[in-house]
Amino acid sequence: MPDTEEFVVTPYEVRGRVDYDRLREMFGTQELTGELLARLRRLAGGELHPLLERGIYYSHRDLGALLDAYEGGRPFFVYSGRGPSGPLHTSHLAQFDLCRWFQERLGVSMYIQITDDEKYWSRAGLSREETVRWGYENLYDILALGFDPKKTRVFFDSRSIAALYPLAIRVARKIPYSSVKAVFGLEPSANIGWIFYTALQSVPAFWPSWAEGKPVPCLIPCGIDQDPHFRLSRDIAEGLGFPKPALLHSRMVPGLLGEAAMSTTGSSADNALFLDDPPAVVERKIRNAFTGGRATVEEQRRRGAVPEVCSVWALWRTRFAESDERLRQVTDDCRTGHMLCGECKGMLLERVHRFYREHEAAREQAKAWAEGAIVTGPPAGAGV
């Protein structure tokens, strides 16, 4: 890393100490304001998802316009996806948690894209067997969050290509190579699959409009690292007769070893909590996690610790604090030195273990309907 002030965020790399406000300015996205959140809260029946309430989602594109249309009687759908390169970790759930919340609160349809092609093209060393196998494993984890089988469809790229390709053809013609190169910074040695791939990530955003033969607005909750793909989608949407997708961007959840993102690309497996980690491994990872604690117990009692830099606090904040009140209490007890890191980790572990147990059961149920949710052909009656 050249300098601690420097950071890099692209769909294929996150590194350095990310200044999220500056990133928003660099990407040219809009701030998720209190006013917009208040509107969403009202539409959702008086409550916000914790990820919205706690500022994990902090940026957007055109959310206001999407809500205007919704209030005017035009329903939207949500779309998000996953590039399967290994087991999911807890931070991957943020985008799907929010989608599920929209589905539950507003009754919207959900489209999930599993990009087994993307990861095969972009990650040297992964086999086709691995990307496909992880594709299914990841899909079960995602569906287990509680999506409604009647309103949830899946594009599993290698199996859904007949459904996606008619639109991919049109999308690809609108995207010049120079844009892909400028947006993703691909090396000259990048394989041509990777160069083409972004066309496929745009397609689900337009697919329901194509299927229904009328504009259907799309909302994409995602990590802000995915914004470059959708900048391209938005640039070409209207030229193809589709509405520009709206976006909701989250911060990246920091890694357990104190890295900018809970990712294991280029770093140790101990940086992330995988959903298939056995309880003893979960325990070890959390016990060893980087915290904002002080060098000695005496010093921590006296000065308190620093939640903002702590990877364990990030877990409380992004998923495991069951209420805002609990989060406030953990935060205060940490800052005042009232609670030490060992105790905090013990309390968190109880919640993490419980979540893993419940998730395991939900995952078995999800397997029963996953296959039927995969879209394998173009929509009936849609044009070419």
Q: Of 359, 347, 345, 351, which Cα lies nearest the Cα of 285? A: 345
81 binding ligand TRP? (CB under 6 A): yes
43 and 70 Cβ atoms separated by less than 8 Å:
yes
Tell me if 152 contacts ligand TRP by CB under 6 A.
no
Scan for tokens 């995988």, then name that residue: 274
82-121 residues in contact with ligand TRP (CB under 6 A) are 82-83, 95, 113, 115, 118
Number of residues that bind ligand TRP (CB under 6 A): 14
CA distances from 267 to 14, 193, 194, 262, 272 (A): 12, 26, 23, 10, 10
Least CB distance to ligand TRP at residue 28 (A): 18
Closest residue to bound ligand TRP by CB? 81
Q: Is there binding between residue 331 and ligand TRP (CB under 6 A)?
A: no
Q: Using the rule CB under 6 A, which residue among 29, 91, 131, 201 binds ligand TRP?
A: 201
Among 40, 51, 76, 80, binds ligand TRP (CB under 6 A): 80
**How far is 315 from 356, CA to CA, in rounded Å?**
14
Stretch that binds ligand TRP, among 75-83, 161-169, 266-274, 285-293 (CB under 6 A): 75-83
Give the binding range for ligand TRP (CB under 6 A) out of 24-32, 47-55, 80-88, 127-135. 80-88
Measure the CA–CA gap between 140 and 138, rounded to whole angstroms. Answer: 5
For residue 208, state whether it binds ligand TRP (rule: CB under 6 A): no
Query: Is 249:57 a contact under the CB 8 Å cutoff?
Result: yes
Minimum distance from residue 85 beta carbon to ligand TRP (Å): 8
> Given the rule CB under 6 A, which of 32-40, 76-84, 258-266, 303-311 is the region that contacts ligand TRP?
76-84
Residues in the chain: 384
Query: With CB under 6 A as the contact rule, which of the stretches 218-226, 271-279, 360-368, 371-379 interacts with ligand TRP?
Result: 218-226
Distance CA 191, CA 188 (A): 8
Stretch of 78-86, 252-260, 284-292, 344-352 lying at the interface with ligand TRP (CB under 6 A)? 78-86
Given the complex with ligand TRP, which of 218 and 352 has the nearer CB atom?
Answer: 218
Token pair in block for residue 145: 């969050």
Q: Where are the beta strands (DSSP E) in the chain?
A: 7-10, 13-16, 30-31, 57-61, 77-82, 110-114, 152-156, 218-223, 246-250
CB of 229 to ligand TRP, least distance (A): 7
Q: What contacts 287, CB < 8 A, 6 or more positions away?
A: 345
State the number of CA atoms in the 13 A half-sphere of 339 facing the CB. 20
CB 309 within 8 A of CB 46: no
**Which phi and psi angles does 175 have, rounded to 5°?**
-105, 110
d(CA 207, CA 216): 9
Q: d(Cα 372, Cα 185) in Å, to the nearest integer?
A: 38
Cβ at position 194, least distance to ligand TRP in Å: 11
- Provide the minimum distance between the beta carbon of 105 and ligand TRP in the complex, in angstroms, as a whole number: 20
> What minimum distance in Å lies between the beta carbon of 81 and ligand TRP?
3
- Per-residue x/- marks for ligand TRP, 284-303, CB under 6 A? --------------------
Asked if residue 222 binds ligand TRP (CB under 6 A), the reply is: yes
Q: Which member of 226, 233, 263, 264 binds ligand TRP (CB under 6 A)?
A: 226
Residues that bind ligand TRP (CB under 6 A): 11, 79-83, 95, 113, 115, 118, 201, 220, 222, 226
